[in-house]
Structure 1
Amino acid sequence: MSTRTEGLLSLRPEIEGAAIHPQASAEEIFQNKTLRPVLKLQNEVLAEAFINYAVKQKGQFFSLSTEKKLQYIENAIHRDIKFRNALKGMVIGMFTLDEYKEYITNSSNLNKRMMNLLIERLKDQVQILVQA
């Protein structure tokens, strides 16, 4: 294992409830083994990136009702391709070389899983996403 790989893996938090079942698909295994820990590790920077995005979009997010904020999060990530690609880059940059090689074999489906997990993570934190 390279120093980079060891360093990246040592940074990742353990995820409770993300057990790998024998009948799990390769995508599900990648999601639980790689995506969830990386998203948890990168949580602060991803949340800050969203706040920055919302501020640059005239800050309307911060005055919305909670339900509208949830819709805004989903729409921002689904519709703004540049923003979505920036978020993907923050996640993919934390992959080991082997994980990246696995990712590129099925990037389309894994991107969907990654963005869905990220959307849910941001929605779960909607009350703390406030303008600095």
Structure 2
Amino acid sequence: MNQRDVFIKEFRGPAIGIVTAQSSTEESFQNEVLRPVLKLQNDLFVASFLNYISKNKADFYTHTVEKKMAIIENAIQKDIKFRNALKGMIIGLFTADEYCLYIKNSSSLNKRMMSMLTERLKSQVQLFDVIT
């Protein structure tokens, strides 16, 4: 393992969630890699979404909470450019070995990543009102 990989693993911190011998490869990857990265990058995701709404959804603040949740979901699911930027923020904190594992299962892992990120932003929707 090279210096970058050692640094990345130490920087991200320990796994979040239970990983057992019965855990699937994807579940282990989610708890050992994705959850720590999402937690570490949370402030960046919030800042990125604030930038997204300032450029694309100026009326965001006038909507109900339910509509804001839908906007968050649509932004991540339908805006490919924004989605790819978010994926880059996550993938950039993978080790080389984790990246190799990721590319073998990228379709299902992308679904997990984006679903977890969507739920993370939706659970913090109140932050997007405070900053107006």
TM range (shorter): over 0.9
Q: How far 1:89 moved relative to its partner? A: 0.5
CA distance in 2, matches of 1:19, 1:94: 21
**Cα contact 1:5–1:96 (8 A) shared by 2:** yes
**Cα contact 1:13–1:40 (8 A) shared by 2:** no
Q: Return the letter of the residue paired with 2:68.
A: K
> After TM superposition, where is structure 1 displaced by more than 4 Å over at least 4 residues in a row?
none
Cα RMSD over matched residues?
1.4
Q: Which residue of 2 aligns with 1:4?
A: 4
**Cα contact 1:8–1:95 (8 A) shared by 2:** yes
CA distance in 2, matches of 1:48, 1:15: 25
Q: Which residue of 1 aligns with 2:59?
A: 60
Where structure 1 has 5 or more consecutive residues not aligned to the other structure, the ranges are: none
Alignment of 1:26-105 (within 5 A): 26-105=25-104
CA distance in 1, matches of 2:15, 2:32: 9
Report SS of the residue matched to 2:94.
coil
CA distance in 2, matches of 1:69, 1:15: 31
After TM superposition, the structure 1 stretch with the greater mean CA deviation from structure 2, 27-36 or 5-14, is 5-14
Q: How far 1:61 moved relative to its partner? A: 1.5
Q: CA-to-partner distance for each residue in 1:25-64, whole Å, 9 max, x for gaps?
A: 1111101110000010111111110110010014221221
Q: How far 1:15 moved relative to its partner? A: 5.2
Where structure 2 has 5 or more consecutive residues not aligned to the other structure, the ranges are: none
Q: Return the letter of the residue paired with 2:98.
A: E
CA distance in 2, matches of 1:116, 1:50: 15
TM-score (norm 2): 0.93
CA distance in 2, matches of 1:33, 1:7: 15
Alignment length (residue pairs)? 131
